[in-house]
Structure 1
Amino acid sequence: MTVRHHIGDDLLLSYAAGALDEASSLLVATHLALCPHCRARAATADALGGEMLDALPAAEVTPDLWQSVLARTQAEPETPSATPATALRPRSDIVIPEPLRSYLGKDLAGLRWTRLVPRVQQITIDIPGCGPRARMLRFEAGTRVLEHGHSGRELTLVLHGSLYDGDTVMRRGDVAETDERTEHQPQAGPGEDCICLAVTDAPLRFKSRFARLLQPWFGI
């Protein structure tokens, strides 16, 4: 497997700095599990961040400041990590890598899909808060997605099969990042279902009036 479409520098740096929302962090971490090239980039970003911190002048830690930090750590709820502490036992036939598999709680064969439209199914991933939403999408082979634009950013990670978008072909491990400038109609490749992880921070803008009427039920 050769990953050809990688996460952008801005996204990777935000992830390395811990400034990315949980849903997007989940997608980036899952991509890193599949992409040695981006794992090396992430390690470089981490090292650079460490050097920048080391270069900062040391600040005096007063007793009042220390007590204030302790009070905040005790008062603030713990933010869920994009890498859950409890991982499922690895299996050789896994399509879904960690950390995504722990978020879902099951291997691919155990997932329960909900029909979205004919030939398309989804699983909404439960992530607390009101930030970007993450979902698994499954398209039957050859299915053409409804034509749509975007009101914000959408990240799509292919986990199985292939996804055609214009002249671009995405396969396992590949990531696409789209925004308000994008209007498209991707299509699942032939021969096998396409399974993706998608993260959106705003609703899609469907061209079809029928799709817009059903959008509240789609949740997309």
Structure 2
Amino acid sequence: MSDIAHHIPEPILAAYAAGSLPRVFEVVVATHISMCDSCRGALAAHEALGGSVLEGLAEAPVSDTLLAGVMDRLDHAQPDAAPAPKREGIYPGPVMAALKSRPPRWKSLGFGVKQAILEAGDDGSLRLLHIPPGRAVPDHGHSGLELTLVLQGSFSDETGAFGVGDLEVADGDLEHTPTAGEDAPCICLAATDAPLRFQSFVPRLLQPLFKI
């Protein structure tokens, strides 16, 4: 997509290439890369650099015991996993994989806003958000990192405007009120590694129930 204006920051892309991102962020980054030629090219450059570094490392001797163990694991390896799901509608392959190729199970958050939790655990949460046109998400800050990728429609906040394929990176320094564009419902893929910090009482009260 040539109109993408907000891309993956270099440190996050490097962590993704190294395989060190938490799972929930990895899904968002993989989804953006599937939509963005620029970041796909940047990832290829990171992977090529990593390969050249590995080639430059000195060879180390391998014991017969270690070699035998590796060969045994290869002999008993599980067959290849099923092919990655393909894009369906607005949902790219990585999202379809997180959905297990099923439609989102939307649950109301109130005022027309809905969410579908894809993953939730100690490392963070991954969810789809559906925000009606013109509707604002309650004002909030962040206790950790949040990655939000637009899959349909658009939203804007204090930092700018975000359309399909755009990625917003929010941390503890950002307090904002994302508002969906008027043209269509905004559907986003969002990952967080810590609870949000809502300013008003009702969202704080409902926060444990909605796992946000």
Same fold (TM over 0.5): yes
Distance 2:87 2:13 in 1: 26
Normalising by structure 1, we get a TM-score of 0.86
Structure 1 residue identity aligned to 2:95? L
- 1:16 has 2:17 as partner: yes
Query: Structure 1 residues 89, 177: CA separation in 2 closer, same or farther (over 3 Å shift)?
Result: closer
Distance 2:31 2:154 in 1: 17
Structure 1 residue identity aligned to 2:207? Q
1:181 equivalent among 173, 179, 184:
173
User: 1:22-171 alignment to 2 at 5 Å?
Assistant: 22-67=23-68, 85-88=82-85, 94-106=89-101, 110-126=103-119, 130-171=122-163
Structure 2 residue identity aligned to 1:14? A
Cα RMSD (Å)? 2.1
Distance 2:71 2:22 in 1: 24
Q: What are the ranges of 5 or more consecutive residues in structure 1 without an aligned counterpart? A: 79-83
> What's 2:198 paired with?
206
Answer with 205-214 or 154-163: which moved more: 205-214
| Cα distance, 1:194 vs structure 2 | 0.1
| Residue pair 2:155, 2:161 contacting (<8 A) in 1 also | yes
Normalising by structure 2, we get a TM-score of 0.89
DSSP 3-state at the match of 2:26:
helix
> What's 2:8 paired with?
7
Structure 1 residue identity aligned to 2:118? I
| Residue pair 1:86, 1:102 contacting (<8 A) in 2 also | no
Q: How many residues align?
A: 206
Query: Structure 1 residues 90, 170: CA separation in 2 closer, same or farther (over 3 Å shift)?
Result: closer
Alignment deviations for residues 76-105 of structure 1 (CA, whole Å, 9 cap, x no partner): xx9xxxxx74434555xx211111112213
| Cα distance, 1:21 vs structure 2 | 1.5
Distance 1:158 1:124 in 2: 16
Q: What are the ranges of 5 or more consecutive residues in structure 2 without an aligned counterpart? A: none
DSSP 3-state at the match of 2:93:
coil
Query: Structure 1 residues 12, 89: CA separation in 2 closer, same or farther (over 3 Å shift)?
Result: closer
DSSP 3-state at the match of 2:45:
helix
Identity %, equivalent residues: 41
- 1:193 has 2:188 as partner: no
| Residue pair 1:139, 1:188 contacting (<8 A) in 2 also | yes
DSSP 3-state at the match of 2:151:
strand
DSSP 3-state at the match of 2:90:
coil
> What's 1:81 paired with?
none
Alignment deviations for residues 26-83 of structure 1 (CA, whole Å, 9 cap, x no partner): 1111001100000000000000000000011111111233356578x69xxx9xxxxx
